[in-house]
């Protein structure tokens, strides 16, 4: 249907343009502020024309927040989380879709229910386990009385300890399980015709071969989409890294932003803070731009 | 090349039986076609041979080994699927060679074998293409190549031609026949298309509702259908079937009250029985309505088949097909007479559909020709 409604079109475009301005304005202010000097950024109202101090602000932010190190930590962290999520969810979905075993619906729904239990809800127990990953086993031993039995028989006090604080495993592992990813993969696997699995069976490949040779290559677009979303999500994590990286040397870029925010009595150098913000938000932005094509394809349809 | 024994094989999904006890002995190198309407269990039977479906009861042995508990890859079967099931992300060469890759055949040998298979199927120009860039017939050939490369003991075909257009289907039919002659592997081909069954099979197995109705050569199945179902299913047009009773004088009386003469000994044998009378369209003759002994009918429409014509007549409200020979001109509504040769009549039990009597000989040629 072709409609000729110039006035309605105009109204639509105006609303869209307004929305765009509202969405982009904060970014514009961040970018402009990061080019100003200390004096200009503190005048009221702040000038809305860029100045020439961009480079020196970037340098100041880089040094003050130790961004060289922190960005590397952040990248390792976000890549591990995203890759972990892709691997885990592709495998979990594979089990759920392709294997008939008792309780697979229960397992699927258990995974699905975790959508309702984000990290923020279970943060105290999760922290406690990260502080000592063997704590649950210790608890089992204590409750069953094995600890005291062993202490009585061998004179050894069993004390299992495996701290994950200030380590990559501690940072990454609690974030790796993902119901969203598993669900995305499950839906994708369901679109793959059964004959493909049967053909590969006739060709003599077992489940692992089928997974590696057929399913993974076919789910490439899916994988890239999930990786991109999860990378951005992990990059922006704040609460968990803040809790677990108690050692200031081990922090990640996003939590490090707080060192850039001027304190109450310090120098109000918001220009440097804004420059730091720009640096920190650029890696996910670059990734999304690079992956855009794949990303959209992976979300809207399967490669035909 | 391997014989296949299917012994009292049953399949049920939960409590629903799908295949009720099938017994078959397939000789080494034989080309078997399983023919039946959709939902008769023919694909299920094939998939049980392949190992894609568990066998609920009974035994399947390939080359003397019971394979019930073997994985598909251990059975030595290759299968061609209805919608080809090619791996979309692999090239034609990779698709064909995948089975060899899985079994760890070295790359050089693999390439050589892929090339020779591609040559046999004239797929050489397409080896680097993806299945997406191929036509239906080419995809079909890739699927065959993928089955051939393993040099399997048994070929299984699950309605492989039903996605092709009519012309290509006939060409592929000839190609499959040729391949079978060359490779000599035991083949089981499932289809609901009787032309395919007739042209390809050494022996046809007609299945209905999970049971085997008849096993025989295409000629036997066509000329001596062993049950009412086979009579109505095989042949185009299907056999004319009239339900009625044999009276005390030994003539067939169908439900509208008219008599059709039977041969005296059959009439005596089945006097008083409720039967179904079957006559092939080409075993009935078209005569002028005044001919003595002719059954009066009205021409309904004439099916033009090019080489031959079939008159679909209205026979006291029942449809009846008669093959037309010669240059008889007919138009819908014309009154015609039908002559039925008592020797060409098939009789089936009206209750069970089982065959009671078949013509003593095959029309126009002898059985053992």
Which domains, from first to last, does chain B contain?
4-223 (3.40.50.300), 231-357 (2.40.50.140)
- Of the two residues B257 and B306, the one the predictor is more confident about is B306
B273's CB contacts (< 8 A; 6+ apart) are B245, B246, B349, B350, B356
Asked if A240 contacts A119 with a C-beta cutoff of 8 angstroms, the reply is: yes
What are the boundaries of each domain within chain A? 1-64+261-291, 78-256
Predicted pLDDT of residue B365: 41
Per-residue pLDDT at B24 exceeds 50: yes
B147 contacts in chain A (CB < 8 Å): 202
Judge: A200–B98 Cβ closer than 8 Å, yes or no.
Answer: yes
Sign of the alpha-carbon torsion through B125, B131, B136, B142: positive
Span A86-115, mean pLDDT?
Answer: 89
- Of the two residues A135 and B192, the one the predictor is more confident about is B192
Per-residue pLDDT at A211 exceeds 90: yes
Search chain A and give the residue with CA nearest B73. A204
Closest CA–CA distance from residue A205 to any residue of chain B (Å): 6
Span A278-297, mean pLDDT?
Answer: 86
Span A109-136, mean pLDDT?
Answer: 85
- Taking only Cα atoms into account, the Rg of chain B, rounded to an integer number of angstroms, comes to 24
Predicted pLDDT of residue B335: 85
Per-residue pLDDT at B165 exceeds 60: yes
Per-residue pLDDT at B35 exceeds 60: yes
Span B155-174, mean pLDDT?
Answer: 87
A205 contacts in chain B (CB < 8 Å): 73, 98, 102
| Mean pLDDT computed over every residue of chain B | 85
Span A26-63, pLDDT tens digits: 989 999 988 888 888 788 788 888 888 888 888 888 88
Per-residue pLDDT at A146 exceeds 70: yes
Closest CA–CA distance from residue B85 to any residue of chain A (Å): 5
Pairwise CA distance, residues A27 & B343, whole Å? 95
Query: Range with the lowest mean pLDDT among B91-105, B213-227, B323-337?
Result: B323-337
Cross-strand pairs, B78: B155
Q: What are phi and psi of A296, to 5 degrees?
A: -65, -45
Predicted pLDDT of residue B363: 53
Cβ neighbours of B79 (radius 10 Å): 29
HSE-CB at B294 with a 13 A cutoff on CA atoms is 16
Predicted pLDDT of residue A233: 92
Burial label for B20, CB within 10 Å (0-12, 13-18, 19+), is middle
Per-residue pLDDT at B367 exceeds 50: no
ipTM over cut 0.85? no
Judge: A201–B73 Cβ closer than 8 Å, yes or no.
Answer: yes
B50 contacts in chain A (CB < 8 Å): 202
Q: What percent of chain B has pLDDT over 90?
A: 16
Q: What percent of chain A has pLDDT over 90?
A: 24
Closest CA–CA distance from residue A290 to any residue of chain B (Å): 23
Q: Which A residues 187-246 touch B at CB under 8 Å? A: 193, 195-196, 198-205, 209, 213-214, 217-218
Per-residue pLDDT at B9 exceeds 50: yes
| Mean pLDDT computed over every residue of chain A | 86
| B148 confidence band (pLDDT: 50, 70, 90) | confident
Predicted pLDDT of residue B150: 84
Pairwise CA distance, residues A213 & A94, whole Å? 13
Q: In B121-165, which ranges are continuous DSSP H helix?
A: 136-148
A199 contacts in chain B (CB < 8 Å): 79, 81, 85-87, 146
Predicted pLDDT of residue A17: 96
Sign of the alpha-carbon torsion through B289, B295, B297, B301: negative
Span A234-244, mean pLDDT?
Answer: 89
Architecture of the domain spanning A78-256: Orthogonal Bundle (1.10)
Pairwise CA distance, residues B154 & B148, whole Å? 10
B332 vs A111, A216, B230, B291, B337, CA distance in Å? Answer: 69, 63, 30, 20, 14
Give chain B's contact residues with A (Cβ, < 8 Å): 50-52, 71-73, 77-79, 81-83, 85-89, 98-99, 102-103, 132, 146-147, 150
Predicted pLDDT of residue B332: 82
């Amino acid at each position: 249907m072709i409609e000729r409604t110039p006035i309605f079109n105009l109204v639509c475009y105006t609303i869209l343009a307004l929305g765009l301005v509202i969405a982009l304005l904060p970014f514009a202010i961040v970018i402009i502020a990061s080019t100003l000097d200390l004096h200009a950024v503190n005048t009221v109202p702040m000038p809305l024309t860029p100045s020439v101090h961009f480079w020196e602000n970037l340098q100041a932010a880089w040094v003050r927040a130790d961004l060289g190190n922190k960005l590397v930590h952040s990248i390792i962290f976000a890549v591990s989380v995203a890759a972990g999520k892709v691997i885990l969810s592709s495998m979990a979905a594979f089990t759920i879709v392709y294997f008939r075993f008792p309780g697979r619906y229960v397992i699927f729904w258990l995974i699905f229910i975790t959508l309702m239990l984000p990290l923020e809800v279970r943060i105290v127990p999760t922290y406690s386990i990260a502080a000592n990953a063997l704590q649950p086993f210790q608890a089992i031993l204590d409750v069953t009385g094995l600890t005291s039995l062993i202490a009585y028989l061998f004179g050894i006090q069993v004390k299992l300890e495996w701290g994950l604080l200030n380590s990559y495993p501690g940072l990454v592992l609690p974030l790796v399980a993902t119901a969203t990813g598993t669900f995305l993969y499950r839906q994708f696997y369901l679109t793959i015709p059964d004959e493909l699995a049967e053909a590969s069976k006739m060709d003599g490949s077992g489940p692992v071969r089928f997974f590696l040779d057929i399913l993974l290559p076919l789910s490439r677009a899916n994988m890239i989409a999930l990786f991109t979303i999860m990378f951005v999500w992990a990059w922006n994590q704040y609460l968990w890294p803040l809790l677990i990286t108690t050692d200031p040397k081990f922090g990640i870029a996003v939590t490090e932003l707080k060192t850039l925010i001027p304190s109450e009595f310090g120098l109000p150098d918001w220009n440097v803070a804004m420059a730091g913000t720009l640096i920190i938000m650029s890696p996910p932005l670059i990734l999304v731009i690079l992956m855009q094509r794949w990303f959209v394809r992976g979300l809207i349809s399967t490669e035909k | 090349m391997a014989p296949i024994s299917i012994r009292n094989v049953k399949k049920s999904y939960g409590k629903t039986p799908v295949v009720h006890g099938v017994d078959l002995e397939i000789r080494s190198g034989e080309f078997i076609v399983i023919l039946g309407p959709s939902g008769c269990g023919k694909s299920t039977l094939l998939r049980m041979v392949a190992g894609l479906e568990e066998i609920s009861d009974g035994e399947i042995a390939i080359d003397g080994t019971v394979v019930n508990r073997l994985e598909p890859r251990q059975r030595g079967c290759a299968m061609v699927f209805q919608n080809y099931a090619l791996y979309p992300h692999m090239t034609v060469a990779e698709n064909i060679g995948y089975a060899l890759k899985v079994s760890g055949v070295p790359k050089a040998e693999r390439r050589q074998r892929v090339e020779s298979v591609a040559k046999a199927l004239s797929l050489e120009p397409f080896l680097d293409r993806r299945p997406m860039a191929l036509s239906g017939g080419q995809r079909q050939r890739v699927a065959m190549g993928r089955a051939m490369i393993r040099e399997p003991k048994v070929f299984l075909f699950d309605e492989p031609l039903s996605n092709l257009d009519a012309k290509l289907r006939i060409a592929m039919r000839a190609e499959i026949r040729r391949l079978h002659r060359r490779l000599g592997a035991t083949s089981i081909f499932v289809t609901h298309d009787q032309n395919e069954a007739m042209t390809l099979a050494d022996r046809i197995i007609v299945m209905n509702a999970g049971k085997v109705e008849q096993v025989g050569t295409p000629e036997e199945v066509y000329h001596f259908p062993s049950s009412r179902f086979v009579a109505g299913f095989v042949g185009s047009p299907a056999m004319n079937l009239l339900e009625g009773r044999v009276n005390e004088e030994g003539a067939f009386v169908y439900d509208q009250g008219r008599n059709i003469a039977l041969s005296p000994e059959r009439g005596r044998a089945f006097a008083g029985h409720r039967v179904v009378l079957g006559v092939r369209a080409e075993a009935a003759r078209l005569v002028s309505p005044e001919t003595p002994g002719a059954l009066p009918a009205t021409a309904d429409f004439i099916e033009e088949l090019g080489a031959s014509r079939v008159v679909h007549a209205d026979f006291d409200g029942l449809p009846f097909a008669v093959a037309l020979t010669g240059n008889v001109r007919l138009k819908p509504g014309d009154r015609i007479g039908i002559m039925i040769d008592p020797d060409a009549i098939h009789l089936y039990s009206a209750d069970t559909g089982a065959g009671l009597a078949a013509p003593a000989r095959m029309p126009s040629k002898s059985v053992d020709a």
